[in-house]
Amino acid sequence: MDGFAMGDYGAYVWSCVALTFVIVVFSDWRARLRHKRVYRDIEVRLKALEDRE
Amino acid sequence: MWKWFHQLASPPHFYRIAEILSPWLAIPGLVLIAYGLWQGLFVVPMDYQQGDAFRIIYVHVPAAYLSLMAYMIMATAGAVGLIWRIKLAHAVAAAAAPIGAAFTFLALATGSIWGRPMWGTWWEWGDPRMMSELILLFLYFGYMALRGAIDDTAKADKASAVLALVGIVNVVIVHFSVEWWSSLHQGQTVFKKGTMDAEMRIPLLIMLIGFTLLFGSMLLRRIRTEVLYRERRTRWVREMILATGDGT
Amino acid sequence: MLIRGERCLFQGLSFALESGALLVLEGRNGSGKTSLIRAIAGMLSLEQGTVYWDDVPVEKQRQTFHGNLVWLAHRTGLKGDLTLVENLGFERSLRAHSTRDAEDVYERLGIARLKKLILRSLSAGQQRRVALARMLLADVPLWFMDEPFTNLDREGRALVLELVEEHLGRGGMCVMAAHQDVEIDAPTTRVKIQ
Amino acid sequence: MPGIFESLLATTRRDLLLAWKRPGDVLNPLFFFAMVCTLFPLAVGPSPEQLEFSGPGVLWVAALLATLLSLNSLFLSDFEDGSLDQLLVSPQPLPVLVLGKTLAHWLTAGLPLVFVSPILALTYNMPVSVMGVMMLTLLLGTISLSLLGSIGAALTVGLHRGTALLSLLILPLAMPIMILGANAVSLAAHDDVYTTGIWALGAYAIASVSLAPYATAAALRISNE
pLDDT (tens digit per residue) in D109-124: 999 999 999 999 988 8
- Tell me if chain A has a CB within 8 Å of the CB of B224: yes
User: What's the rounded mean pLDDT across residues D50-65?
Assistant: 89
Which of B145, B155, B177 lies at the smallest CB-CB distance from D179? B177
Domain map (residue ranges) of chain B: 27-234
Indicate if the pLDDT at residue C16 is higher than 80. no
Indicate if the pLDDT at residue D220 is higher than 90. yes
Q: pLDDT higher for C50 or D134?
A: D134
Per-residue model confidence as pLDDT tens digits over B70-119:
999 999 999 999 988 888 999 999 999 999 999 999 999 998 888 887 77
Secondary structure E strands in D106-178: none
Chain D residues lying within 8 Å of C93, measured CB to CB: 2, 6-7, 9-10
The pairing of beta strand C2-4 with beta strand C7-10: antiparallel
Give the model's pLDDT for residue D87: 92
Give the model's pLDDT for residue B188: 41
**In this complex, do C73 and D88 lie within 8 Å of one another by their Cβ atoms?**
no
Give the model's pLDDT for residue D84: 92
ipTM of the complex: 0.87
Q: pLDDT higher for B120 or D157?
A: D157
Q: pLDDT higher for B114 or D106?
A: D106
The rounded distance, in Å, linking the Cα atoms of A9 and A7 is 5
Please state the pTM of the whole predicted model: 0.89
Closest among C161, C180, C149 to C28, alpha carbons compared = C180
Closest among B206, B210, B195 to B43, alpha carbons compared = B206
Give the model's pLDDT for residue C11: 64
Radius of gyration in angstroms for the set of CA atoms belonging to chain D, rounded to a whole number = 18
Q: pLDDT higher for B43 or C82?
A: C82
Mutate to test the interface with B, among D169, D199, D208 (most CBs of B within 10 A): D169
Give the model's pLDDT for residue B236: 85
Per-residue model confidence as pLDDT tens digits over B21-60:
888 999 999 999 999 888 888 877 776 666 677 788 888 8
Give the model's pLDDT for residue D115: 93
Give the model's pLDDT for residue B247: 47
Distances (CA, A) of D52 to C163, D127, D181: 69, 9, 16
Q: Hey, how many other C-beta atoms are within 10 angstroms of the C-beta on A43?
A: 17
Q: Which residue of D has its CA nearest to B137?
A: D172
The DSSP secondary structure of D105-122, one letter per residue, reads HIIIIIHHHHHHHHHHHH
Give me the percent of chain C exceeding a pLDDT of 70: 93
Alpha carbon of B176: minimum distance to chain A alpha carbons (Å): 28
Indicate if the pLDDT at residue C6 is higher than 50. no
- Tell me if chain B has a CB within 8 Å of the CB of C3: yes
Alpha carbon of D158: minimum distance to chain C alpha carbons (Å): 14
Most confident of A7-11, B22-26, C76-80, D216-220: D216-220
User: Order of strands, edge to edge, in the sheet holding C142-146?
Assistant: C69-72, C142-146, C173-178, C22-27, C188-193
**In this complex, do D172 and B150 lie within 8 Å of one another by their Cβ atoms?**
no
Chain C residues lying within 8 Å of D2, measured CB to CB: 92-96
Give the three-class secondary structure for C178.
strand
Beta-bridge mates of residue C52:
C57
Give the model's pLDDT for residue C39: 86
**In this complex, do C4 and B151 lie within 8 Å of one another by their Cβ atoms?**
no
Per-residue model confidence as pLDDT tens digits over C97-120:
777 788 888 888 888 888 888 888
Per-residue model confidence as pLDDT tens digits over C157-187:
888 888 888 888 888 889 888 877 777 777 8
Per-residue model confidence as pLDDT tens digits over D2-55:
788 989 999 999 999 999 998 888 899 999 999 999 998 888 888 888 888 888
Alpha carbon of C112: minimum distance to chain B alpha carbons (Å): 42
Domain map (residue ranges) of chain A: 2-52
**In this complex, do B142 and D215 lie within 8 Å of one another by their Cβ atoms?**
no
CB burial of residue A46 (10 Å; 0-12, 13-18, 19+): middle
Q: Which residue of C has its CA nearest to B233?
A: C6
Per-residue model confidence as pLDDT tens digits over B116-166:
877 777 887 777 788 888 999 999 999 999 999 998 888 999 999 999 999
Give the model's pLDDT for residue C150: 81
Q: How many CB pairs under 8 A join B and D?
A: 78
Mutate to test the interface with D, among C75, C86, C122 (most CBs of D within 10 A): C75
Give me the percent of chain C exceeding a pLDDT of 90: 1
Per-residue model confidence as pLDDT tens digits over B168-178:
888 888 878 88
Give the three-class secondary structure for C142.
strand
Per-residue model confidence as pLDDT tens digits over D18-29:
999 988 888 999
Indicate if the pLDDT at residue A42 is higher than 60. yes
Indicate if the pLDDT at residue D175 is higher than 70. yes
User: What's the rounded mean pLDDT across residues D195-213?
Assistant: 92
Give the three-class secondary structure for B221.
helix
Averaged pLDDT score across all residues of chain D: 90
Task: Find the chain D residues whose C-beta atoms sit closer than 8 A to any C-beta of C.
Answer: 1-2, 6-7, 9-11, 13-14, 17-18, 21-22, 77, 80-86, 88-93, 97, 221, 224-225
Chain B residues lying within 8 Å of C4, measured CB to CB: 152
Q: Which residue of D has its CA nearest to B174?
A: D176
**B-D interface (Cβ pairs under 8 Å ≥ 3):** yes
Secondary structure E strands in chain C: 2-4, 7-10, 22-27, 52-53, 56-57, 69-72, 142-146, 173-178, 188-193
The rounded distance, in Å, linking the Cα atoms of B34 and B20 is 23
Mutate to test the interface with B, among A19, A29, A39 (most CBs of B within 10 A): A39
Give the model's pLDDT for residue B215: 94
Alpha carbon of D168: minimum distance to chain B alpha carbons (Å): 5
Distances (CA, A) of D113 to B78, D110, D130, D131: 36, 5, 16, 13
